[in-house]
Structure 1
């Protein structure tokens, strides 16, 4: 697909009907599907070592193997806390999206179905955080405030572009984790459920983003690019709460600086975002001032090692 060729949009009702059918066949109750009584295996990593934000740094070399595994558990818990935060925002946005639409339509009924899924996911993530022995990594006041603003002002492309970004990032990390038998079984079980159900959510968001993006004029698109860039920046730079580093004896400020500059961590974020960058970049949603925030968040690669992001000029 080239940028000047608008993507083919399938029938909204037909897609929603398929997603509703899929939900009926493959939905899970995490409280039943997961063995919450099983003890955490502290001899295993919660995520692959190379996905830990400090991997390869001098601070990583200071840590014992036990501390590295502990840090992996806290980083997974921190990412799960971000997931809960954004899923709560998404549920509110989906309720607003459905508010004045026909509830007898498949489209709105799937929105309600996704809200129910997200409720279960938030409970599942919260229980996992507790089992991993981590606290609830609450976001800083500025990000909390911006989240309140975003959920109140977001319209079509912002609702579904923001949702697609967060869902794709988590999906890539969890797809890798769920098939790695060396990792903590609880994390793998949570990842498996989330990946299966989020596949439907991403299809819904991808279709609706493309549909609403095409209807917007250039001014509205420019506004959406900027706000989406801010959402991406604040979500990505808060993935790892600095307090996670303190739990393994590191200075949070020093560790945060090291992670921000760590080429391995930048590459991990670029890898996790590659599909959503291709989707939104191909639509022309990553350009102008908003693109600055995508790059500042470490999602467009390191200088000299940058993945291509489709632009209209390049497409021509």
Structure 2
């Protein structure tokens, strides 16, 4: 015989499933109206414009440090160009991980559901984004900056052991901070038109990805067992720590003629840089706090990452 408690749990579960489908249907409609093919949407043959930045100077890691104040304008712009390539390289790495996590998420889901159809739509988006970032790196003339071997292998571990809610928390980590920066970039007329075009496309399409991940993370954290919630908090905190350290590859400093150790030290000590990163992460950390992800050891890892104030 079904108890009152069990009936309520079944009703809640059905409500969550219905909500999941409604969200996916709306996202599919938005995707049909506002999706882009970067290969045809952007003018890849147009020459780069002299005197334009590849990234807003206020978002460059050394902005307003003693080292920055000593650098000539040309070197500052060169650093911005290399940091844009570093961020695009990081974006490709993260999106490859996210695509694998999404494929794993839908493996046991009803294959004709709107939820699965939207996940496949998002994977297609991420494929285009990764190709777009790679093409932007090539066009900009800076090298690609792969993450360190340690972080590469930690990413491999995350893909293997991540819980379902942990996968969506990692998705948001990889999307929301860069999204905040890109929202400042695409309307900035100081920035190269191509970079502005790339960030505009990414912002429009990532808004849907963020909604999908937020809704699923909220749903998962409300229903998952205690052990899974605990592992999610731990993996999310470690992912935040890795992400913050990998955000700018230190090789960029060497490649623009700076002392690498001095540049790394000044970037880490910079109040401006700390404020930029925490501001970029605030919308995300507020949401993770609300959904119960920022607790215990996981919260301490977020603080150690510099993305969350003590």
What residue in structure 1 maps to residue 68 of structure 2? Answer: 60
CA distance in 2, matches of 1:29, 1:137: 25
Aligned residues: 295
2: CA distance, partners of 1:253 / 1:49? 21
Distance of 1:11 and 1:226 partners within structure 2: 28
User: Contact conserved, 2:163 with 2:228, CA < 8 A, in 1?
Assistant: no
Matched position secondary structure for 2:40: helix
2:92 paired with 1:84: yes
Q: How far off its partner does 1:42 sit?
A: 4.0
- 2:128 is aligned, of 116, 120, 134, to 120
- 2:166 pairs with 1:167: no
CA distance, structure 2, for counterparts of residue 145 and residue 248 of structure 1:
28
Q: Is 1:42–1:69's contact at 8 Å kept on the other side of the alignment? A: no
Question: Which residue of structure 2 lines up, in the alignment, with residue 207 of structure 1?
Answer: 215
Q: Check conservation: 2:221, 2:292, Cα contact below 8 A.
A: no
Superposed CA deviations along residues 43-88 of structure 1, whole A, max 9, x for unmatched, are 1222221211111111112211011011111111111111100100
Match of 2:274 in 1: 266
Q: State the alpha-carbon separation in 2 of the partners of residues 290 and 15 from structure 1.
A: 29
Q: C-alpha separation between the residues in 2 aligned to 1:136 and 1:46?
A: 15
Which of 300, 304, 307 does residue 296 from structure 1 map onto? 304
1:189 paired residue number = 197
Partner of 1:313: none
Match of residue 158, structure 1, among 158, 163, 166: 166
Alignment map for 1:204-243 (pairs within 5 Å): 204-243=212-251
After TM superposition, give the deviation of residue 220 of structure 1 in Å: 2.2
Asked whether the equivalents of residues 165 and 220 of structure 2 are also in contact (C-alpha less than 8 Å), the reply is yes
- Structure 2 CA distance for aligned equivalents of residues 183 and 216 of structure 1: 44
CA distance in 1, matches of 2:287, 2:270: 26
CA contact 1:70–1:248 (8 Å) conserved in 2 = yes
- Secondary structure (helix, strand or coil) at the match of 1:11 reads helix
Offset, 1:285: 0.8
Separation of aligned partners in 1, 2:281 and 2:48: 29
* Aligned counterparts of 1:189 and 1:166: Cα–Cα separation in 2: 20
Aligned to 1:46: 54
The answer for the alignment partner of 1:69 in structure 2 is 77
Q: Deviations over 1:93-135 (max 9, x none)?
A: 1111111211100000111000000000000001111111111
CA distance in 2 between counterparts of 1:239 and 1:39 reads 28
2:290 aligned with 1:285, yes or no? no
Cα-Cα RMSD: 1.4
Partners of 1:176 and 1:42 in 2: CA distance: 21
Measured in 1, the distance between the counterparts of 2:47 and 2:74 equals 17
Moved over 6 A (4+): none
SS at match of 2:170: helix
Please, which runs of 5 or more residues in structure 1 have no aligned partner? 1-7, 307-316
- 1:45–1:73 Cα contact (<8 Å) kept: yes
Write the deviation string for residues 115-169 of structure 1: whole angstroms up to 9, x where unpaired: 0000000000011111111111011111000101111221211111110111111
Q: What are the ranges of 5 or more consecutive residues in structure 2 without an aligned counterpart?
A: 1-14
Q: In structure 1, which of residues 96, 100, 107 is the aligned counterpart of residue 104 of structure 2?
A: 96
Secondary structure of the equivalent of 2:109? coil
